Structure 1
């Protein structure tokens, strides 16, 4: 059960907002596919139209596959997931955008589903913390037991996500909407997984960490 006072959404509201988030992520590439088809219908440059369609279709596919792991069921309740799937999803997500390099370190393991979801949602937050692109180094330590996940991001115009800090601090937060549901879900996953989340900015990099919380926490 969640102990953070900010985690107050009901199940239906959480599901609705997560659906809105996924729709927001895929509507742009799907719209671009439609634009490419319209260009073909109008007799526009075939090569340019097909390039737009291919690129947008790949982007939409990558985002949906990522969302399936990060937000979806990905198997039955209580199922485990191979961290190799998470690595591929994160690298494909970044490669489709072509602005951020992802380096992945640590052993491959089959671990609890919510831990994988937490890791991927932390990746999304780290990705958003460097909007102009950069590098994200992801390290998994002892993922099957006393897991520690560390994500270090570097880039131009770095910014610590204010909603994440607000949620982690437990101070009163604004109403959750489709824009803030993703950090909300990340904090909820941390509690459900028994992992404490921390974020530190050094000025040169932003470090996100999730580690197993003490038993008496």
Structure 2
């Protein structure tokens, strides 16, 4: 079984870029369709529909890009910190276009960037645990330098996404990584860079993602 650390830097960058593009294509395509309708239609009803589509899709694209910038971007120099309140704001905007609802319980503090990036990437993975929609309850506890994250996913047929438990632990399936697999791969790499361990488990009908400092798990 391969190790996540063995992925070449170029492959990692390419897969992350593919993941971001996948999220942005849909709203950008809708904006293009709306503009085409405005060019071709003269009826007020259709033009109004097209304008509403453009506005909605532009908001979605902006929310996804702002989230991606924080979740995947450099976010400042090495050792930089991110305001957890800003992370909450971009997450709420991003989730407004998703099937699942978000509940966020955390004190607004500055936190090392890799820990915040890990939290945001776990949110993305959590949406796949409840593909039919539901609620993701995010809780952040502990000191900013040694936080504990808990994301409880409640929804119809909540399930652990395929292979995510082992991928978060750094163990890759035999097949070559793809754009769907890159999310937990990157989250696992972030966890280890942030001296944390990320795991996922079923708790009753819920799927629960956790990330704790490595010294807690020994």
> TM-score, length-normalised on structure 2?
0.92
Question: Aligned in 2, Cα 1:63/1:213: closer, same or farther, shift over 3 Å?
Answer: same
Question: Could you say what the CA RMSD is over the residues aligned between the two structures, in angstroms?
Answer: 1.8
Q: Tell me what 1:63 maps to.
A: 64
**Does the 8 Å contact 1:196/1:210 carry over to 2?**
yes
**Does the 8 Å contact 1:109/1:143 carry over to 2?**
no
Runs of 4+ more than 3 Å apart = 168-172
CA drift at 1:209: 0.3
Q: Tell me what 1:176 maps to.
A: 177
Q: Tell me what 2:206 maps to.
A: 205
CA drift at 1:143: 4.1
Question: Aligned in 2, Cα 1:170/1:72: closer, same or farther, shift over 3 Å?
Answer: closer
CA drift at 1:102: 1.0
User: Are 1:116 and 2:150 matched, yes or no?
Assistant: no
The alignment of Structure 1 onto Structure 2 pairs a total of residues equal to 213
User: Are 1:100 and 2:93 matched, yes or no?
Assistant: no
Cα distance per residue 1:18-61 (max 9 Å; x no partner): 11111111011100100011111111611110111111111100
CA drift at 1:7: 2.6
SS in 2 for 1:18: helix
Q: Tell me what 1:13 maps to.
A: 11
Q: Tell me what 1:158 maps to.
A: 158
- For 2:28, which of 23, 27, 30 is the aligned residue? 30
Distance 1:169 1:185 in 2: 11
Structure 1 regions of 5+ residues with no counterpart?
Answer: none
Q: Tell me what 2:186 maps to.
A: 185
Question: Aligned in 2, Cα 1:170/1:71: closer, same or farther, shift over 3 Å?
Answer: closer
CA drift at 1:156: 1.3
SS in 1 for 2:96: helix
Q: Tell me what 2:53 maps to.
A: 52
SS in 1 for 2:144: coil
Distance 1:172 1:136 in 2: 26
Structure 2 regions of 5+ residues with no counterpart?
Answer: none
User: Are 1:41 and 2:51 matched, yes or no?
Assistant: no
User: Are 1:133 and 2:160 matched, yes or no?
Assistant: no
